[in-house]
């Protein structure tokens, strides 16, 4: 595995934006064992050691073994159970505060869709997409580092209370983390 400086803080994010770092873990972690869809305890331990250097926040998304994961108290938690056990791992955007999402990664990704989450009830009148513009992946430079970034608009008023699935593609991996809109 190539050595990397994990002190990088990412693209510029200004209030009312909320950053979501999408972290891609290599399929092999220097251990020579493939991670597959059900990582071995040794592979999981290696991933957690790597992530300790990155220090992901609760809503940051780890793409590993073709699945989305979150880090809670230093431990990798798999999707979607992590959202039930640790609701703070769901990105929330306040409509009143006009908050916006900034998804970013060192690896290229693209958002390919948005839909109602099947993990939460559907709110009557909520739109299928709470944003008013398309998602465009752009290359941004910050601190001499390049990042792939998608910036959202603020959610529309009628999205309050609705939970969504944001579908993105990173290489061959299709990932669909959750997001919720609050007043």
**Chain segment 106-117, per-residue pLDDT in tens:** 999 999 999 999
Tokens describing residue 48: 């957690």
The total number of residues written for the chain in this structure: 183
Cβ-contact 165, 178 below 8 angstroms: yes
Q: For a pLDDT cut of 90, what percent of the chain falls above it?
A: 56
pLDDT digits (tens, 9 = 90+) for 117-139: 988 899 999 999 999 999 999 99
Max CA separation in the chain (angstroms)? 50
Average pLDDT, the chain: 86
The pLDDT of 1-30, averaged and rounded, is 74
Cβ count near 55 (within 10 Å) = 12
End-to-end CA distance of the chain: 44
**Mean pLDDT within 152-168:** 95
How many CB atoms are located within 10 Å of the residue 120 CB?
Answer: 16
What pTM value is reported for the model?
Answer: 0.88
Task: Give the per-residue pLDDT at 100.
Answer: 97
pLDDT band with cut points at 50, 70 and 90 for residue 74: confident
pLDDT tens column, 86-98: 999 999 999 999 9
Q: Which two tokens stand for residue 111?
A: 């958002």
Question: Residue 1's pLDDT band (boundaries 50, 70, 90)?
Answer: very low
pLDDT at 4: 42
Supply the pLDDT for residue 3.
38
Q: Is 57 exposed, middle or buried (0-12, 13-18, 19+ CB in 10 A)?
A: middle
Structure tokens at 123: 């709110």
Measured between alpha carbons, how far is 97 from 94 in angstroms, rounded to an integer? 5
- Asked if 89 and 136 touch (Cβ cutoff 8 Å), the reply is no
Contacts of 7 (CB under 8 A, 6+ apart): none
Residue 36, pLDDT > 60, answer: no
For the chain, give every domain's residue range: 17-182
């Amino acid at each position: 595995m190539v050595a990397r400086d994990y002190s990088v803080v990412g693209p510029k994010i200004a209030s009312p934006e909320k950053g979501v770092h999408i972290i891609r873990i290599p399929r092999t972690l220097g251990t020579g064992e493939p991670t597959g869809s059900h990582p071995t305890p040794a592979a999981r331990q290696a991933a957690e050691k790597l992530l300790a250097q990155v220090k992901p926040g609760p809503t940051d998304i780890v793409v590993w073994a073709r699945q989305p994961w979150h880090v809670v108290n230093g431990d990798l938690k798999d999707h979607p159970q992590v959202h039930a056990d640790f609701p703070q791992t769901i990105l929330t955007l306040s409509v009143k505060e006009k908050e916006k999402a900034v998804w970013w990664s060192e690896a290229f990704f693209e958002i390919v869709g948005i839909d109602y989450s099947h993990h939460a009830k559907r709110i009557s009148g909520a739109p299928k997409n709470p944003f008013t513009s398309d998602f465009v992946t752009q290359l941004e430079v910050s601190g001499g580092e390049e990042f792939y970034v998608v910036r959202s608009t603020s959610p529309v008023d009628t999205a309050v209370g609705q939970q969504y699935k944001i579908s993105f593609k990173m290489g061959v991996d299709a990932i669909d983390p959750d997001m919720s809109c609050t007043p």
